[in-house]
Chains A and B, each alone.
Chain A
């Protein structure tokens, strides 16, 4: 197929002969647009357009930790209950010693509590968000770090949601939906959640048909 294909403005510009990139081994670079991009990366010169979006900066409400610890502890409680059940059954029918029957659930409970605390603390440290004029930017995830960028023009509507526990700590979750699915910013203070929601709603109204 020739470069002048219908419906492909600018194909000649961005797809072409391979060009060597000074920054990286030649077998890894074959596309001039990219090579040009990285010739100036990461020191973003005045003439160079932005080559990466700086990560979001805002944190969630500090009370998020308490909320998540309690949420995690509920899970731990369920787990401990199950363990107790299993150990009791083993003790009764499989001749497992009393030390094990008591020890295992206790160990699970202790480890669970520690993990519950650590998970909440680390997750809070990692979670960042930012609402910019044109996009919502989210960064979170402990093992798998997840960055999500949602153009304002694609947001269909915004919700805030408040579960019973969240209400206890005066927190709320902001959810927003595009035609491809939903995303959320959890555990913002109630006032801030309302603010964020209204901000997104206001910015999302900008109609942008590219």
Chain B
């Protein structure tokens, strides 16, 4: 495994990593020239502070002062090189049987072990300088690589070593991995996907598009934009039009004028919201490509299936989602849309291995609630469950208080604070400061609705969670075997009431993917934890397959 520039662990440097015991002795160093490239990377991080410090010191006529000022970048450079040297001196990597071990760090020592089976890709990166020096930066990708802390990088290897390492890793992986089943996330799209016979699953009609805009939650941001525009309004609106407004009488009208202004602003914001929605989602189309449509046992037939989403008026967007990357499907009925029976469907999908896809996003921006089950059955059959809300397990009655009381207390405290501030320090109480008290019953109502909406269910194949936020009601469907980890939390009050919050996490390229349902019966939460054990899940799936 060794080639020229690599120093074997065991000569002069043997004592460098004494503390953590127990790996083989075949560990290798990075290329010595990595001192320079790593140092340069450190230096790049220092450039901005150095410039800030230099500018803040300024250049006076004093020679000593100037020496210090110019000494700063020199010191930074020196520090970077020393940092690079330390990084080199304390970094080792080793292919130890079926595991890649990487040790780094001087002050905080770190030793990571990556089972070869988990490696999804070994990427090389070469900056121009690295190319000149014949170095390669090696990145080892696993499904966890989306997370900053979990990134595995060998700062600089000689080209030969890098090729050797990659070759070994990939042959090791190929030797074992392909016989088993592919990992659930992050596999590259198979090349043989037939892209000709796309099947349109959903289109957004013009009427739906306008309805989507009219009920979109974008009114808030739009109102802000309109408010800002209003500041410059006099310049934007034709003067003649502006002068026709009866300003004098408006000034006397007081409250009425304010209300009128709010209504006008609201209407403008609304139209803006409709406009942006139309721009974003015009021509929306969801297509499915590849084999394996609507089989009862959809799971095994979906290897090549992809969903393609197209939308946008000016900026045409196109997203491709391999079906097996999808981790969860969330149906959202926003507060505005729910009374009209409309919803939005989002998906949580893993990946970003190639870095080219969205981690999660909109599957369908606007759809009749009644059509949701059919669409999910057609587009993502793996996530289709009988849509009978009453079948979901509700939370115990004593959970209701815990949904209602905290928001009531918060809003009450806020109201009190506002009123006290106005009473003591501003110009006294007003009817509208007192009117803020309506927030309290609203908060109670929201809490009650959140309690009513909360529910969960477990089938042989799926975990279903339903909850409500200020945005609206969410229904999450994920498959049991898509869960990455799960857990419960219970604070002091919950423990006293024998309640617990259930947590579930699915793979997600970015930060998303974590879901929580507060105030379950503690027994139920425990039972869910047990029932979602891998062995239990296998059992349930087998039982379900045997049954029909």
Contacts and interface: CB of A to CB of B under 8 A. Distances in A.
16 contacts: A6-B294, A7-B298, A7-B377, A10-B545, A10-B547, A38-B523, A135-B534, A148-B486, A150-B484, A159-B110, A162-B108, A181-B147, A183-B485, A197-B111, A207-B183, A210-B538
Contact of B492 (A143, A150, A179, A204): A143
B520 to A, nearest CB: 11
Interface of A: 1-16, 27-28, 30-31, 33-34, 37-38, 41, 49-53, 134-135, 141, 143-151, 153-164, 167, 170, 172, 175, 177-183, 190-191, 193-195, 197-198, 201, 204-205, 207-210
A157 B485 contact: no
Contacts of A205: 98, 115, 117-118
Interface string B512-548: 0110000001011011011111111111110111011
A134 B536 CA distance: 11
A177 B147 contact: yes
B109 interface: yes
Given A5-B373, A10-B543, A37-B527, 14 more contacts: A9-B541, A11-B459, A13-B460, A15-B385, A33-B458, A50-B536, A53-B526, A135-B534, A144-B489, A154-B485, A162-B108, A197-B111, A201-B115, A207-B183
Contacts of A149: 485-487, 529, 532-533
B152 interface: yes
B482 to A, nearest CB: 9
B162 interface: no
B150 interface: yes
Given A9-B547, A146-B489, A191-B21, A50 B530 contact: yes
B14 interface: no
Interface string B465-486: 0000000000000001101111
Q: Interface size bucket, B side?
A: 35 or more
Given A27-B397, A145-B490, A157-B112, A9 B461 contact: yes
Q: Is the interface of A mostly helix, strand, loop or mixed?
A: mixed
A181 B386 contact: no
Contacts of A7: 295-299, 377, 381-384, 461
A158 B112 contact: yes
The 4 residue pairs across chains A and B that have the minimum distance between CB atoms: A10-B544, A10-B460, A210-B481, A179-B507
Contacts of A146: 487-489
A201 to B, nearest CB: 4
B85 interface: no
Nearest to A208: B534
Contacts of B185: 179
Contact of A147 (B458, B488, B535): B488
Given A147-B487, A156-B118, A210 B480 contact: yes
B19 interface: yes
Contacts of A13: 460, 543-544, 547
Contact of A14 (B381, B459, B495): B459
B383 A157 contact: no
Contacts, number: 283
B60 interface: no
A70 B482 CA distance: 40
B462 interface: yes
Interface string B384-397: 11111011011011
A30 B393 contact: yes
Contact of A5 (B111, B377, B545): B377
Interface in B82-120: 98-99, 105, 107-115, 117-118
A5 B547 CA distance: 15
Given A5-B386, A10-B544, A160-B20, A180 B393 contact: no
A53 B526 CA distance: 7
Interface in B165-213: 177, 180-186
Could you say which of A8, A179, A193 has the most chain B C-beta atoms within 10 Å of its C-beta? Answer: A179
Contacts of A27: 397
Contacts of A178: 143-144, 484-485, 505, 507
Nearest to B522: A52
B513 A141 contact: no
A32 to B, nearest CB: 10
Given A134-B533, A145-B489, A151-B534, A8 B527 contact: no
Contacts of A151: 483-485, 533-534
A175 B149 CA distance: 10
Contacts of A1: 373-374, 377, 386-388
A46 B539 CA distance: 17
Contact of B110 (A16, A161, A194): A161
Given A8-B461, A9-B545, A10-B543, A162 B110 contact: yes
Contacts of B532: 149
A150 B115 contact: no
B534 A134 contact: yes
A137 B383 CA distance: 28
A11 B118 contact: no
A163 B485 CA distance: 27
B20 A28 contact: no
Contact of A209 (B181, B530, B536): B181
Contacts of A179: 143-144, 146, 185-186, 350, 484, 507-508
Contacts of B529: 52-53, 147, 149
A149 B531 CA distance: 12
B238 interface: no
Contact of A134 (B484, B491, B535): B535
